[in-house]
Structure 1
Amino acid sequence: MSDPGSPQTQNGSVDRELQANITNLVSALGGPDLTLPTKAYVLGHDALMCLRDLKIWLRVVDEKRRLLDVARAISETSLVTQDLLEILSQWDQAEEEKEINGVQDEPGSAAAAASAKAFRIALGCLELLVPLTWPIKLDSESTDSQFYHAPALNQVYLRYKDAVLSHYSNRIFRAVIRLCLPALQSEPGKRSSRDEGILKLAVYFIRNILCINLKDARTIVAEDISRSFEISVLAKQSVLDFIVMIASGGGDLFVNQNAAIMECVYYLLYGLKIHQVLDVTADFKVSASVKAHQDLKDLLVSEKAIKRSVQRKMPSRHNRFGTMLSVSTADNDRLTVSGQPALLDSEATLGNLDSVKKWKKCQRVDVTNTQQWDIDIMLSEESRQSLKQFVNDFLESAYNPLFISIRKVLEREMGEYSKTLLQEHEVQFLYLAAWFLRAERARNVVLNDKHSQDRTPDMDFSMVAGTLNQNMFIIIMHAMRTSFENKEWHIVYAAMLCFKEVIYTVNDMEAKGVEEMREMAENIKSRLFYEEYSLDLLSKIPKTAHARDISYLNLAVELTHIVLKTLERYSTDKNAIYIGAKRRRQRQKKKRQNQSEEDGVIPDDGVQESDSEVEREKAAKKVVERKFNFQVFESKFLSEETLNSYIKYLGNYKELNKTQLMYAIKFFHRIFARRKLHYFFYRLDLMKLFSEIVGTGSSSSSQLLLSIDRETRTEITNFVRYYVHKLIPALEKTPSLFVEILFQKSQSDFFYFEHGFDKPAPEPRTAKAKPGLVFADDAFAAELENKFAIVVAALIDDEKGDLVEWVIDALNQVYQRRASWIQLSAATPEAGDSPLPPDERKFFLTRSSLLLDRDTN
């Protein structure tokens, strides 16, 4: 074989000698016997050695040298699509016939040896299938060979998946699961490393087949490997039950397969909506036959509105003759518009000219984030029923064990480079946690509708209790904060999605749960919104959402709506809410600098502290509790960036449903009507958007208002009317606003428009003098002796009798000094000229200042 580092290999082509060796091994493995009527597959004489040689080739060349030459050479053969699959299916069929006939091989017999050899051959096939279907991920450290072969192998993977799912025997996954039976029959603590390896191979093979991307299909018919077909095959071959079984033993019976099983569940449910799986609608109402007619009715109403808007511009039989209007501009350019309506309305003519103009802003493509969240996947009724049973079984037996075990791993490896979980596993964990929290809420709706017709029974959320604790909240906020700082937006999206579903679940627990769940919900709310940095992060998310894609923007707006609504209700129900905030570091830093100066050490900001000092500083940090003010928190959303996000969000009004429309209208009402920040919304782009949504006059009403329900239409129309009602007087009062609506405005501009003058500069803070003592009864306190009596009594009542005793001792010392000075002055007449003893004034002032300091403390 040629050296893989040769020039020929570097150019991307596979070495001919390598290709010949791989082809010879595949040919020696076996093939169909054309002399038999069934053309059954017959193994070669050294089939087991051929499988081992192929595995060695993959390990030595592709794995150790970071190449894909062997995988590319194998893709040119029929090893995966025919040989390996035939061997597995025939072995599984033979083992099944033995079970049906009750045949048991005696230990030490030739049949037992043949059976053991067949098992090793089938296991060798699985050992080859796993690396040959392993996902290819390219990064900065990938070699030229990997970059060259990856596109072709991704196409080959589609053929592999189609061959596995469409195999005529329908036994490929059953054979893989049968290979795991000896390992499953042994006790968890007594499993050998070989048994653990077989289980991991089986789970990884299922993961590899599920994660092959169908969007890359070019030559294969999409229906052949659609999600519905895939789920149907997995259900018929008991793969879904196998996944539930492995996941239910997560952390106890199965430890090394947790991450791979989570990947299987993720690729199985990715992109699916809850109402596609369970018997509910998108807004969690139990679906029924009446609902189908209601959906048809809504579609007919929407179609009627579209036809009405189109017919308004359609030509009649009297104006079918061609008409063309040409307009000459000042720079001798000529603009042409066709159609007779251009002759009747000049505004329509200009609008027609503007409609044909196309200008697209250059957008930066994020090549590191290829995740697509909002995708449409169609499911057949058979696959939907299979997936519904899988989701119910997973929630009842596997959700808590699997997610608790993975959560513990994330806790141990938080903030560090993980050896067991990758960054993509964190995204999958958050996404699946949100998906199943939403599914549990939908299941409760279905169960309550079936078991209760007259009343709404209490809901139970114990099936998802593993992700409703403080440790889970720490993981969510840590992922959201670190990914937001690092601009890893796909992780931010998953964390926002999980946090939103947690809030929805807690609200349902508080409103519809049992008494124990209600108490738990109140405790969860106090923990969710306790950290101040979490609240600050939630207010920063909508500021950057306008620069992201539409899926991220929709989720950010919905999260902002539910957070503001929940916090407002929670702060209203409670008399006082306290949040934890870090103590200001300025005083601590100044204190450390003063201490270092006293010790004679000059601090060096460029030198980092040692690990022990960092740990000591972290341990010394204290959290102070501050009273939560919802108005202050709400003010953090008052920024031009946040408003830009909402304007972009509402600009997609044709694709938004009535609930999503109300998210934007309620936010506008919160700021514009309730907070009275009118000038904040006086922007030309927002005015234009309202004009497009509402329309001008009943004859040209907007298509949106005709396609939504009356309540939502009334809310939107009323807000726009209120907006215009406030805008007209503002324009009359401040004519300069006609120019200001074209530009962004700062906080000082808002104050000027509201009051007519600039905001005064804040006065410098001065130390306030402490008020003196005030006696309630001036008549009684007229004498000095009574004042002393009142002060002494007050100190004793405040349990400060030690101060009184200290004053008495100090006065006795002063008295003794004065008496000794009098005696001394009588004995020495020269000292009589001094009115006070030499050190008495200094002593008295010093001790009195100490007395005042102790009293104030």
Structure 2
Amino acid sequence: MEEDDVIEISSGESDHEPGYTERRAILEPAIRNVVEALGGYEGKTYRMGDEAYGCLKDLKKYWRKDDTDDERTVARIFWATRVLTNDLVPILLETAGKGHVEDKRAITCADLITAMTWPIDLAEELKELDDEVDRGTDYTLLLQSHLYYKAALLRPGVMQALFNIMLPCLAKDVKERKEKDVQIINVILHLVRNLAFIKDLPANIHLSSDQINFSSLQSQFIRVLSEANYLELLLTIASNATTEAMFNGWNTLVLEIFYLLFRGVKPLSLVLDQAKQTTRNLHDLLSIEGKRRRDFARHAPSRHSRFGTTISVKLNPKRNVDPSKGDKAPDAPAAPPEPSSSQAFILHRQQGLKKEAGTILDLVKR
């Protein structure tokens, strides 16, 4: 697709920009045509189109239209077409993943992926919304798309391919290094920052299998960074920021990456000796178990509670008193108790545990 084929929707001087529905209706067919021209799968192999590089440049031009669009129409269309998952990642693996690290298509893919994963400052976005025009703006879909983008980039070989794009630029001598090389390194480092910025979903047992995976993406991301030698590179940049002018320009960016990686982690756990941490965790668990046993022994019932308990029940104790006779003289002999229902019944604990009290009383009466 030529540069002249790109459709211009609006300009900054226009006072009558089309609404979201009209804007999407115009942009979506054109973007989908470009995405289809990128390539596709033949069986299990991805085949790039003849004009894949030109299509990638066109997608970048379309992406810039969101700079003045609070609705992020192009970002929503890109998510609807699944262009990152189905096209950009496979193109990256087919080029840089197979050693073609200086391929323009690989570099353009990295640039476009960095733009698509750029952090969304939700508070700032909502503050800038126009109350009348953008009343229905919803960023939930865009935030959700970032989770899927992060999961797609954590596939085997993707982060390593991005690292391979950056490595030749770092290996060049200072005199041979061009401004384009510095820009490529800058793009990859910003992509790492963008992925570290994306927060995991809260862990929940009621989530689906895909959503459960989204609750542990940050741990997977750190492991992938370690396997692809990103962490060593970040430490090298941070330690040489004062001596190397190029590294000094990325000092703040590297600091932000480390902050996002360690976000939510207690500072004390960062300085622990990981080799001894397993033994220490076992010791802590044994201490907790011992404390629980002591607490249970302190409040445990004594051995005497194992014996049966006898309860004496006397029914209607007032029935042996004749109200017509009134009080008797003190020297009068006491009359023998009449055999009545005021008989005392003995309930043993062992019987009470096995049967109901009413059933036992019925048996005694018989």
Q: Which TM-score bucket, shorter chain as reference?
A: 0.5 to 0.7
Kindly state the Cα deviation for residue 256 of structure 1 after the two structures are TM-superposed: 2.6
Aligned to 2:248, what secondary structure does the other structure show? coil
User: Which of structures 1 and 2 has the larger relative contact order (alpha carbons within 8 angstroms, sep 6+)?
Assistant: 2
**Residue segments in structure 1 that go unaligned for 5+ positions in a row:** 97-114, 319-857
1:61-84 C-alpha deviation (Å, 9 max, x unpaired): 111445411011100112111211
1:181: Cα distance to partner?
2.8
CA offset digits 1:788-809 (Å, max 9, x no partner): xxxxxxxxxxxxxxxxxxxxxx
CA distance in 1, matches of 2:194, 2:85: 15
State the partner residue of 1:85.
89
Q: Are residue 239 (structure 1) and residue 230 (structure 2) matched?
A: yes
Q: Deviations over 1:519-551 (max 9, x none)?
A: xxxxxxxxxxxxxxxxxxxxxxxxxxxxxxxxx
The alpha-carbon distance between structure 1 residues 23 and 293, as it changes in their structure 2 partners (threshold 3 A), is closer
1-side partners of 2:270 and 2:282: how far apart? 20
Displacement of 1:304:
4.0
Question: 2:325 aligns to what?
Answer: none
How many Å separate the matches in 2 of 1:163 and 1:182? Answer: 25
**Could you tell me whether the CA contact under 8 Å between 2:97 and 2:160 is conserved in 1?**
no
Residues 530-549 of structure 1: matches in 2 within 5 Å? Answer: none
Do the aligned partners of 1:14 and 1:72 also contact (CA within 8 Å) in 2? no
The CA distance in 2 between the partners of 1:227 and 1:206, in whole Å, is 12
Name the structure 2 match of 1:70.
Answer: 74
What is the TM-score when the length of structure 1 is the normalising length? 0.30
- Asked if 1:141 corresponds to 2:128, the answer is yes
Is residue 58–residue 71 contact of structure 1 (8 Å, CA) maintained in 2? Answer: yes
Structure 1 residues 309 and 193: CA distance shift in structure 2, 3 A: farther
Aligned positions of 1:705-854 closer than 5 A: none
Partner of 1:32: 41
Alignment of 1:77-226 (within 5 A): 77-95=81-99, 119-138=103-122, 139=124, 140-142=127-129, 148-165=137-154, 167=155, 170-188=156-174, 191-215=177-201, 220-223=210-213, 225-226=216-217
Aligned CA distance change for structure 1 residues 30 and 149 (closer, same or farther; 3 Å):
farther
Partner of 2:27: 18
SS state at 1:42 partner: strand
Which one of 34, 48, 55 corresponds to residue 53 of structure 2?
A: 48
Q: Is the 8 A contact 1:207 1:260 kept in 2?
A: yes
Cα distance in 2 between the residues matched to 1:137 and 1:293:
42
Aligned to 2:263: 270
Q: CA 1:242–1:123 in structure 2 vs 1: closer, same or farther (change >3 Å)? A: same
Q: Which digits, 9 at most, give the CA deviation of each residue in 1:68-102, with x for residues without a partner? A: 11011100112111211111112133217xxxxxx
The CA deviation at 1:129 is 0.4
Letter paired with 2:128? E
Given that residues 9 and 23 in structure 2 are in contact (C-alpha distance below 8 angstroms), is that contact kept between their aligned partners in structure 1?
no
Whether the 8 Å contact between 1:92 and 1:171 is mirrored in structure 2 is no
Structure 1 residues 87 and 17 mapped into 2: Cα distance closer, same or farther (>3 Å)? same
Comparing 128-137 and 182-191, the one that deviates more: 182-191
Amino acid at match of 2:116: L
Q: CA deviation at 1:41?
A: 0.7
CA offset at residue 272 of structure 1?
A: 2.3
Q: Please say if residues 68 and 149 of structure 1, whose CA atoms lie closer than 8 Å, have aligned partners that are also in contact.
A: no
- Deviation per CA, 1:458-485, whole angstroms, max 9, x where unpaired? xxxxxxxxxxxxxxxxxxxxxxxxxxxx
Q: Aligned to 1:259, which of 249, 252, 273?
A: 252
Q: Which amino acid aligns with 2:120?
A: I
Contact 2:113 2:191 survives alignment (8 Å): yes
With over 3 angstroms needed to count, the CA separation of the structure-2 counterparts of 1:57 and 1:226, relative to structure 1, is closer
Residues 739-767 of structure 1, C-alpha deviations (whole Å, 9 max, x = no match): xxxxxxxxxxxxxxxxxxxxxxxxxxxxx
Identity %: 26
Residues 189-218 of structure 1 show CA distances to partners (whole Å, capped at 9, x for unaligned) of 653322221111000011111110103687
State the distance in 2 between where 1:309 and 1:172 align.
58
The CA deviation at 1:24 is 1.1
Which one is further off, 207-216 or 42-51? 207-216
- Cα deviation, residue 274, structure 1: 5.0
Aligned partner letter, 2:241: G
2:221 counterpart letter in structure 1: E
Task: Render the CA deviation track for 1:619-668: whole Å, top value 9, x for unaligned.
Answer: xxxxxxxxxxxxxxxxxxxxxxxxxxxxxxxxxxxxxxxxxxxxxxxxxx
Name the count of aligned residue pairs: 281
Which structure 2 residue ranges, 5 or more long, are not aligned? Answer: 1-6, 11-15, 310-366
Specify which structure has the higher proportion of helix. Answer: 1
Alpha-carbon distance change, 92 to 273 in structure 1, aligned in 2, over 3 angstroms: same
Whether contact under 8 Å (2:46, 2:90) holds in the other structure is yes
Instruction: For residue 271 of structure 1, report the CA deviation from its aligned partner.
Output: 2.1
Judged with a 3 Å threshold, the aligned counterparts in structure 2 of structure 1 residues 239 and 293 are, in CA distance, closer, same or farther, namely closer
Q: Give me the whole-angstrom Cα distance separating, in 1, the residues matched to 2:120 and 2:231.
A: 25
* Cα distance in 1 between the residues matched to 2:22 and 2:230: 38
Q: Distance in 1 between matches of 2:165 and 2:135?
A: 32
C-alpha spacing 1:145/1:257, structure 2 compared with 1 (3 Å): farther
What do the CA deviations read for 1:222-263 (whole angstroms, capped 9, x no partner)? 346344322222212222122223323324242332222112
User: 1:223, 1:229 within 8 Å by CA — same for their partners in 2?
Assistant: no
Say if 1:80 and 1:160, in contact at 8 Å, map to a contact too. yes
Q: Secondary structure at the match of 1:270?
A: coil
Q: Residue type matched to 2:94 in 1?
A: Q
CA distance in structure 1 between the aligned counterparts of 2:28 and 2:300, rounded to whole angstroms: 65
Answer whether contact 1:28 1:47 (CA < 8 A) is retained. yes
State the shift of 1:178 in Å.
Answer: 1.7
SS in structure 2 of the partner of residue 214 of structure 1: coil
Shift of 1:180: 1.7
**Counterpart secondary structure, 2:231:** helix
Within 2, Cα distance between the matches of 1:306 and 1:156? 50
* Distance of 1:302 and 1:27 partners within structure 2: 65
Distance 1:161 1:310 in 2: 52
Letter in 1 for 2:157: R
Distance 1:86 1:273, change over 3 A: same
Q: Are the structure 2 counterparts of residues 3 and 309 from structure 1 closer, same or farther at C-alpha, using a change threshold of 3 Å? A: farther
Counterpart contact for 2:66–2:73, Cα < 8 Å: yes
Following the alignment from structure 1 to structure 2, what is the Cα–Cα distance between the partners of residues 58 and 288?
A: 48
TM superposition shift of 1:49: 0.9
Query: TM-score under structure 2 normalisation?
Result: 0.66
1:440-499 alpha-carbon deviations (Å, 9 max, x no partner) = xxxxxxxxxxxxxxxxxxxxxxxxxxxxxxxxxxxxxxxxxxxxxxxxxxxxxxxxxxxx
CA change 1:275–1:28 in 2 (3 A) is: same
Using a 3 Å threshold, how does the CA distance of structure 1 residues 196 and 95 change in structure 2: closer, same or farther?
same
Which residue of structure 1 aligns with residue 288 of structure 2? 299
The answer as to whether partners of 1:2 and 1:15 remain within 8 angstroms in 2 is: no
- In the alignment, the residues of structure 2 paired with residue 65 and residue 309 of structure 1 have an alpha-carbon distance, to the nearest angstrom, of 68
CA contact 1:33–1:42 (8 Å) conserved in 2: yes
Superposed CA RMSD in Å reads 3.4
- Check 1:287–1:66 CA distance in 2 against 1; reply closer, same or farther (3 A cut): closer
Q: Quick one: which amino acid aligns to residue 151 of structure 1?
A: T
